Copies of this chain bind each other. A is one copy, B any other.
Amino acid sequence: MGAADPVPPPDLDDALVREVLEEYGELTRRHLRDVLPRGDPASYLYDLLGEYPKRGGKLMRPSLCLATARAFGASPEKAIASAVSIELLHNALLIHDDIEDASDERRGSPTLHAQYGMPLALNAGDALSLLCLRPLKSNYTTLGPSLALRIFEETERTAWETAEGQALELGWRRDNRADLDDEDYLVMVLKKTCWLATIHPMRVGALIGARHAAPLDPLIRLGFFFGAAFQIQDDLLNLQGGAAYGKETNGDLLEGKRTLMVIHALREAQAEPRRRLLRYLGLPRPEREDHETEWISSLLTRTGSLEHARQVAKGLAGAALYEFEQIFGHLDDSRDLRFIRAMITWAQSRAH
């Protein structure tokens, strides 16, 4: 799309995002169901594997993979196995994240460990992350050994980046770190969120669509700006809560997470409220009282931290749109290209 093309109004963008997420999401869910094994022990393992996938989710990751592959000229059949693998890995990591964060809710229901007990949930997370390798095997026949091996290695790298990012977030919390700045946050989010949410789906899609010929490094930049905008909006929505969000309101505060808003408030608040915020973040979760959580939440507004985060997310989305034009601008216009572009705007403006 050149600079002279009319930019579609946002409501049309939102409708496109909804439409494609629904179509590719349904395709992914159908194939995912076929990959989920049945067997014994059902109530101790196999029932658990399907629980999070069954609850829905936006299926943003597999949809981005399918759309990128298609934008580069591949049919969805070539990319669906990789898309399913991405969604399985995402669900596996959610199970372990929820244990690590001691979260209560996921997709509007109790977390897996709340439902089945921590030990069985942890074990199911291990099995599900193993299962994500299975669909990748069919790539050997549909895409050939070289591309299949490459996608396998991309998956391994992504899981590794995610583990590094998760380690940062968990370590900062354990040590109640107060010495972090926006750059620390963005490095953490690049690893914890962006690799799996945006970079990996688009890289794998590009590999399948352009068969090694697409430039993959720029997709790290695009995915970083895009994914970070998505994560900041996610953190902002967490402070709002609401039924559509599917997780506890203020869950991030209750879990002591270092979001961009918290880091900003630690930087901007006066000495006394800063001490109170840091004390709150360092408490064991059960000792965080509701009225104190409310007070922290209002502090984040007073220090301008919410507004700061909104501005950073907007800036990141803008940078992502610029990168998008550099990478995809020369391709023929298509619904898939318009979807990816619309997703970038949606990521930092969405209401859930």
Contact = CB atoms under 8 A, between A and B. Distances in A.
A117 B45 contact: no
A41 B130 contact: no
Interface in A94-128: 96, 99-101, 117-120, 122-124, 126-127
Contact of A120 (B119, B159, B170): B170
A120 B174 contact: yes
A295 interface: no
Given A123-B170, A126-B159, A130-B163, 16 more contacts: A41-B164, A41-B167, A45-B167, A45-B171, A96-B122, A96-B126, A99-B122, A100-B118, A100-B122, A123-B167, A126-B163, A127-B167, A130-B159, A130-B160, A133-B156, A134-B156
A123 B101 CA distance: 11
Contacts of A118: 99-100
Contact of A41 (B123, B127, B171): B171
Interface residues of A, number: 36
B117 A96 contact: no
Contacts of A45: 163-164, 167, 171
B96 A123 contact: yes
A96 B130 CA distance: 14
A173 to B, nearest CB: 8
B123 A126 contact: no
Contact of A168 (B41, B159, B160): B41
Interface string A129-159: 1100110000000000100000000001001
A167 B173 CA distance: 30
Residue from A44, A127, A129, A168 whose CB has the most chain B CB atoms within 10 Å:
A44
Nearest to A163: B127
Interface of A: 39-41, 43-45, 96, 99-101, 117-120, 122-124, 126-127, 129-130, 133-134, 145, 156, 159-160, 163-164, 166-168, 170-171, 173-174
Contact of A170 (B119, B134, B166): B119
Most buried by B among A44, A119, A134: A119
A166 B48 CA distance: 14
A127 B160 contact: yes
A119 B133 contact: no
Given A123-B96, A156-B130, A156-B133, A44 B163 contact: no
Given A45-B163, A164-B41, A171 B120 contact: yes
Q: A-B pairs with the 6 shortest C-beta distances?
A: A44-B171, A45-B167, A100-B119, A44-B167, A127-B163, A119-B170
Count chain B CB atoms within 10 A of each CB in A41, A127, A170, A171 and give the residue with the most.
A170
